[in-house]
Amino acid sequence: MDLQNLIGQVAELAKQAGAFIRGESEKFSTQHIEYKGLNNLVSYVDKSAEEMIVTALAELLPQAGFITEEETINVAGDEYNWIVDPLDGTTNFIHGLPTYSVSIALQHREELVLGVVYEINRDECFYAWKEGGAWLNGKRIAVSANEKLSQSLLATGFPYYDFEKLEKYLQVFRELTQVTHGLRRVGSAAVDLAYVACGRYEGFFEYNLNSYDMAAGIVLVNEAGGKTVNFKGEKEFFKSREIVATNAEIAPKLLEVIQRYF
Q: Which residues are annotated as a binding site for Mg(2+)?
A: 69, 85, 87-88, 213
In the annotated binding site, the residues are: 69, 85, 87-88, 213
Provide the Cα torsion 137, 139, 145, 151; round to 10°.
Answer: -40
C-alpha dist (Å) from residue 147 to 60, 82, 203, 249, 252: 41, 35, 11, 5, 11
Measured CA to CA, the distance from residue 152 to residue 98 in angstroms comes to 24
Stretch (H or E) spanning 48: helix 44-60
253 contacts: CB under 8 Å, gap ≥ 6? 149
Which residues, at least 6 apart from 57, have a Cβ–Cβ distance to it below 8 Å? 10, 13, 64, 66, 82, 84, 104
How far is the C-alpha of 258 from the C-alpha of 59, rounded, in Å? 43
